[in-house]
């Protein structure tokens, strides 16, 4: 059963000083997330990954499209139902240094969601300490301020704040990209353990392919506000279909030079076009090595090539 269903969501931002220009950050994305799975979203900077995450959590209002959470229209929720949704869907942000209020102690930060949702705990100190231990912190951190913690510790606090309400769904917006590599591994393992423990679904947003592969069951590749390919993690890495996905995966460095030399080389030129004025037809066509005439005219539909493996490319679609 699907926990989250996203249908043709679009989010355009107005461009300052212009009446008609719009940044098409997310431009028609459809997918669903199952219960207790991790759905990875990869793409380069500025392709709309984070915006998508925020739209799903209703932190931003989409320009068009629908988001369903447990078969309820998220955008139509209000009052008590909205509060329930807020309790069940949480977010962990990219930069742990700015995601904690510098004027509150760790105890206050973690207690706040409980208070807000009217959950009464007998002994907050003990309750929070127990939870701090789950994420690898301890009693001694209760009355510290965020600036007294390291980046990794802050991210643990942020994760705990998201988890304390036992949500069903968490958007992880590049939770490790501000941390150094050894801490990244710890946090990723922690997230995996917590998922087993609390049975939450993750939407894992990242530009780091290795991290996404490690975390996700299914992965979507995003380019300029659109998904170009959705597949199971292993399948995507073994057999990427969309040229952009191929290029992206080819960019992963391989430690063994022999294998690296044998690897099929695909290169693309140029930079991603501006999302204000995306190219007509397939958005990837100006940079695509396999570009055909139809790519410049018509947008490719998302087709299911194999069960569970979707790709939006004219190479695979029937015209």
Partner 1 sequence: MMAEVIYRGFCIIIDTIAKLMDKIRPGWSDRNSSRISEWKLMAYAYSRSAIGIVGGVLVSIFVIIGIIGPYIAFERYNEFPASVNPDLYFLRPCIPPWCDPWSENLPLLGTDNWGRDILSLVLHGARISLVISLIVVALGVPLGIILGLLAGYFGGAVDEVMMRITDVFIAFPALILAIAFATVLPSRFREVLYTNVFTREFFLSLFALSKEEIPQLASLLAVIFALVLVWWPGYARIIRGSVLSVKEQAFVEAARSLGLSTWRVLFRHILPNVLSPVIVMVTFDLGTATLLAAALSFLGIGPQDPVPELGFLVSKGREYFPDKWWIVMFPGIALFIIALGWNLLGDSLRDVLDPKTRRSLEFKVKGKKQRKFKSVKRK
Q: Between residues 91 and 194, which has the closer beta carbon with respect to partner 1?
A: 91
Q: Which residues contact 122 (CB under 8 A, 6 or more apart)?
A: none
Q: Between residues 10 and 83, which has the closer beta carbon with respect to partner 1?
A: 83
State the first-to-last Cα distance of the chain, in angstroms, to the nearest integer.
Answer: 32
Long-range contacts of 140-144 (CB under 8 A, 24+ apart): 141/106, 142/105, 142/106, 142/107, 143/105, 143/106, 143/107, 144/105, 144/106
| Residue 125 CB coordination number (10 Å) | 13
Minimum distance from CB of 219 to partner 1 (Å)? 24
DSSP 317: S
The sign of the dihedral angle between the CA atoms of 309, 310, 315, 316 is positive
CA distance 177 to 1: 31
Q: Between residues 2 and 105, which has the closer beta carbon with respect to partner 1?
A: 105
Instruction: Identify the H or E element spanning 236.
Output: helix 233-238
CA 193 to chain centre: 18
| Residue 102 CB coordination number (10 Å) | 9
Give the footprint of partner 1 on this chain (CB under 8 A): 54, 57, 59, 82-83, 86-87, 89-91, 93-95, 98-103, 105, 112-113, 116-117, 140, 142-145, 147-148, 158, 161, 165
Beta-sheet pairing, 226-232 with 218-223? antiparallel
Q: Between residues 78 and 182, which has the closer beta carbon with respect to partner 1?
A: 78
Q: Which residues pair with 304 in a beta bridge?
A: 310
Q: Between residues 38 and 90, which has the closer beta carbon with respect to partner 1?
A: 90
Q: Between residues 95 and 298, which has the closer beta carbon with respect to partner 1?
A: 95
Q: What are phi and psi of 162, to 5 degrees?
A: -70, -35
Minimum distance from CB of 143 to partner 1 (Å)? 5
Q: Between residues 113 and 281, which has the closer beta carbon with respect to partner 1?
A: 113
Query: DSSP letters of 51-75?
Result: HHHHHHTTSS--SEEEEEETTEEGG
Q: Between residues 145 and 198, which has the closer beta carbon with respect to partner 1?
A: 145
CA distance 307 to 90: 30
Q: Compute, in degrees rounded to 10, the torsion defined by CA atoms 67, 68, 73, 74.
A: -60
């Amino acid at each position: 059963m699907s926990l989250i269903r996203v249908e043709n969501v679009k989010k355009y931002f107005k461009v300052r000083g212009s009446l008609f220009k719009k940044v098409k950050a997310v431009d028609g994305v459809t997918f669903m997330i199952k219960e207790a799975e991790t759905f990875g979203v990869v793409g380069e900077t500025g392709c709309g990954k984070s915006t998508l995450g925020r739209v799903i959590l209703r932190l931003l209002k989409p320009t068009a499209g629908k988001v369903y959470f447990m078969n309820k229209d998220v955008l139509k929720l209000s009052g008590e139902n909205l509060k329930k949704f807020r309790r069940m869907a949480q977010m962990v942000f990219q930069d742990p240094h700015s995601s904690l209020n510098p004027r509150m102690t760790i105890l206050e930060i973690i207690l706040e969601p409980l208070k807000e949702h009217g959950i009464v705990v007998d002994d907050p100190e003990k309750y929070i300490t127990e939870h701090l231990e789950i994420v690898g912190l301890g009693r001694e951190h209760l009355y510290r301020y965020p600036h007294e913690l390291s980046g990794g510790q802050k991210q643990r606090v942020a994760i705990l704040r998201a988890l304390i309400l036992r949500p069903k769904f968490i958007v992880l917006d590049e939770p490790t990209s501000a941390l150094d590599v050894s801490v990244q591994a710890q946090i990723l393992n922690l997230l995996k353990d917590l998922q087993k423990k609390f049975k939450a679904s993750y939407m894992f947003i990242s530009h780091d392919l290795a991290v996404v592969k490690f975390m996700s069951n299914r992965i979507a590749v995003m380019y300029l506000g659109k998904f170009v390919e959705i597949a199971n993690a292993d399948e995507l890495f073994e057999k990427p279909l969309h040229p952009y996905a191929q290029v992206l995966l080819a960019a992963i460095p391989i430690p063994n030079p022999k294998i690296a030399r044998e690897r099929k080389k695909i290169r693309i030129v140029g930079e991603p076009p501006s999302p204000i004025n995306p190219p007509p037809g397939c958005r990837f066509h100006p940079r695509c090595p396999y570009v055909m005439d139809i790519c410049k005219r018509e947008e490719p539909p998302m087709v299911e090539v194999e069960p569970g493996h979707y790709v939006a490319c004219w190479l695979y679609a029937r015209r």
